[in-house]
Amino acid sequence: NGLRDPTTRWKFPIPYILADNLGLNAKGVILYAFEMFRLKSCVDFKPYEGEDTYIIFQEFDGCWSMVGDQHTGQNLSIGSGCDYKAIVEHELLHALGFYHEQSRSDRDDYVNIWWDEVIPGYEHNFVTYNDSYITDLNTPYDYESLMHYAPFSFNKNESVPTVTAKIPAFDDIIGQRLDFSTIDLERLNRMYNCTATHTLLDQCTFEKQNICGMIQGTRDDADWIHERGDGPGKEDHTLVGRCKEAGYFMYFNTSYGQTEEAALLESRILYPKRKQQCLQFYYKMTGSPLDRLVVWVKRDDSTGNVRKLVKIQTFQGDNEYGWKIGHVTLREEVKFRYLFQGTKGDPQNSAGGIFLDDITLTETPCPRGVWMVRNFSHLLQTTVKGDMVFSPRFYSSEGYGYGVTLYPHGRNGTSRSGYVGLAFQLYSGENDAILEWPVENRQAIMTIVDNDPDAKKRMSSSMVFTTSKDHISPDINYSNIWDRPSIVGKYEQSCNCFRGISWGWSAIISHVQLQKRNFIKDDTLVIFVDFEDITHLNQTEVPVTSTRKSSSGLILQSQGLQTSQEDSHTATLEGQPSNLQRQTRSVENTGPLEDHNWPQYFRDPCEPNPCQNEGICVNVKGMASCRCASGHAFFYTGERCQAMQVHGSILGMMIGGVAGTIVLSIVIISMMSQRRS
């Protein structure tokens, strides 16, 4: 349901401003939503640098946006309660030129609007648009769209919906706020002619015979086998044995041959844009506990050959035979391959091997906390509302111990039934003595992972909040709950540590939703948890350089918006550290690379192309270097190819030609004047 008018489409990257009236958490969520666009589309954003058209994110009342590029500085409000990934994505899709799904001209073929149930005076919110104004981009009606109204929109009776699907199975899907649907992305990518995404480098499910261009090592002892999962215990991870004639994985049999025999599987050559990548894969080791799976990287040796080997991480076998998720952080800046080496540890005592499936390589940070909740269906059956399960303790890049509490049937006190609850808490840890307390301005991101093998189709449920000095509890005498867990927490036997008070959501995702996608695979629920400092987003203002045209025109019927800060002549830059930034103490001096809020230098310096006059930009160790265009007669020079110069030989010929013509003219004129005289 996108605008037809091509002048409303943005040029990428879209300049943005994070106004300082936004809460710290909202800023972090907006940057997180940007990353989703970069992972799944060619839409990109850049901090405002004086452009005429840009989006300024502000905290007014409510969540709202204009539709399409207004060719001025346009507001997008992320008000109180709007700081969720899916809400920011929804508003950004408006800004990119999309209306709501149910206002398509053909929507009455797919949904019923119960006009009698709409609040009187609010019927105009259910209009449809003519297809001369909007286009469906040749995509079918999408019940799963992030842009669809929820069933109870503008309803006058709390329990009676205003929108229902003509196919009842979609009644609990319309209005989903997990993430972009597959068709949302198809439309976005069609509207903006996207052919690739910014941060998805490679992925492979091994379903095709070409194994995604991977190659077998030539100097090893054995080969990985492209196998199909037949029978119990040999299911792949992509389809978990659900489909006939499908469900392939790579397998290295470790039950015969000699100890230390190895097989190598090499990816195709990959060209990174950022400086950090995350390799995620699923593996299973059913042979000897001495078997090893080693991840290597072969990188450009600076002569153009991808041959410089670096060992990255080793995964050891154990006696647990289920599929496990593996994450490996790579820091590649030049072209490279990643390699999986399987090694036989003890063939005489092995009855299996190493399985490998569902590889995803993204240019994003790996999650710090990964919790696989096994036998999830059993857990659901054996627990009741209020029961809770604690995750293991994870450590943030700074050294804070943290974890999550899972409520399989939600927390007590919530009116909702059939929902999973999730909350975050601090754990005491080995670094507590040197860390700063209470720990404020750290953003916790909890994600219930949709394990779709295609990263673009994942619709994970992410909840984000930021620790604050305002988070206090009467249970600890109104102290801050983010103080040291050994002071404000309770002893927890399972970790032999102290657990702080948790903060989270009583009902994060419904059991029905959990069953619909790939949230539960191999009867395992996967949860990612991160905890990172975002203090640097506190104060990041820069002035707006040109006079802003007002993006006013609010059509309000009951109450004016608070626009006192709309004329703020300040703008916000992502990742620009403030002088007032708090000095934090950290166990690992990992620096900004560990941040979720990708700093400016993570972006491709060649986007947008800084080179003028059709110069080609080359990324040389993170710096833009221009290769200037050259013609037969002239060429361009300068750092940005801004200066034109004429070739020496052409210049010589031109000067010679002009001089010759002048001399010849003088001779002719003098001869003619002599004849006359």
Partner 1 sequence: ISIKPFSKESDLDASNQGKDILEINLAAGLDLFEGDILLPENR
Active site residues: 91
Could you tell me how many residues of this chain bind partner 1 (CB under 8 A)? Answer: 74
3-state SS, one letter per residue, for 107-152 = HHHCEEECHHHECCCCHHHHCCCCCCCEECCCCCCCCCCCCCCCCC
Selected from 41, 153, 276, 364, the binder of partner 1 by CB under 8 A is 153
Query: Around Cβ 620, how many Cβ atoms within 10 Å?
Result: 12
One-character DSSP codes across 599-638: -GGGS-TTSS----TTPEEEEETTEEEEE--B-SSEEEES
- Residues 467-496 touching partner 1, rule: CB under 8 A, are 471, 473, 475, 481, 494
Report in angstroms how near the CB of residue 61 gets to partner 1 at its nearest: 4
Footprint of partner 1 on 45-64 (CB under 8 A): 61-64
Task: Write out the binding residues for partner 1, residues 514-553 only, by CB under 8 A.
Answer: 551-553
Measuring CA to CA, which residue among 374, 515, 370, 379 is closest to residue 446?
370
Of 423, 445, 459, 626, the one binding partner 1 (CB under 8 A) is 423
Measured from the CB atom, the residue of 82 and 529 that comes closer to partner 1 is 82
Q: Does 125 bind partner 1 (CB under 8 A)?
A: yes
Figure out which of the listed residues 14, 16, 37, 65 binds partner 1, where binding follows CB under 8 A: 65
Give the SS3 label for residue 34.
helix
Q: Which of 47, 79, 272, 369 binds partner 1 (CB under 8 A)?
A: 79
Per-residue x/- track, 354-373, partner 1 (CB under 8 A)? -------------------x
- Cβ distance to partner 1 smaller for residue 379 or 629: 379
Binding mask 562-581 for partner 1 (x = CB under 8 A): --------------------
| Cα–Cα nearest to 260, from 201, 342, 359 | 342
Minimum distance, C-beta of residue 395 to partner 1, in the bound complex (Å): 21
Torsion sign over Cα 104, 13, 580, 585: positive
- In the bound state with partner 1, the residue whose beta carbon lies nearer, of 9 and 640, is 9
Nearest-CA neighbor of 54 among 67, 70, 43, 31? Answer: 70
Select from 307, 331, 374, 469 the one that contacts partner 1 (CB under 8 A). Answer: 374
Backbone angles phi, psi at 493, to 5 degrees: -65, -35
Angle at the Cα of 8 from the Cα atoms of 4 and 14, rounded to 5 degrees:
135
Q: How far is CA 536 from CA 27, 295, 345, 395, 397, in A?
A: 11, 34, 47, 21, 16
| CA distance readout (Å), 657 to 98, 124, 145, 382 | 60, 75, 68, 95
List 112, 157, 259, 412, residue binding partner 1 (CB under 8 A): 412
At 615, list the tokens.
Answer: 């110069």
At residue 541, what is the residue type? E
Q: Which of residues 175-214 bind partner 1 (CB under 8 A)?
A: 175, 177
Q: Which is nearer to partner 1, 59 or 358 (CB)?
A: 59
Question: Rounded CA gap, 648 and 633, in Å?
Answer: 9
288 to 347, contacts with partner 1 by CB under 8 A?
Answer: none
Minimum Å gap between C-beta 386 and partner 1 is: 3
Could you tell me the smallest distance in angstroms from the CB atom of residue 181 to partner 1?
Answer: 16
Distance CA 195, CA 580 (A): 42
Among 7, 319, 559, 677, the residue binding partner 1 under the rule CB under 8 A is 559
Write the binding mask 81 to 110 for partner 1: x where contact by CB under 8 A, - elsewhere. Answer: xx----x--xx--x----xx--x-------
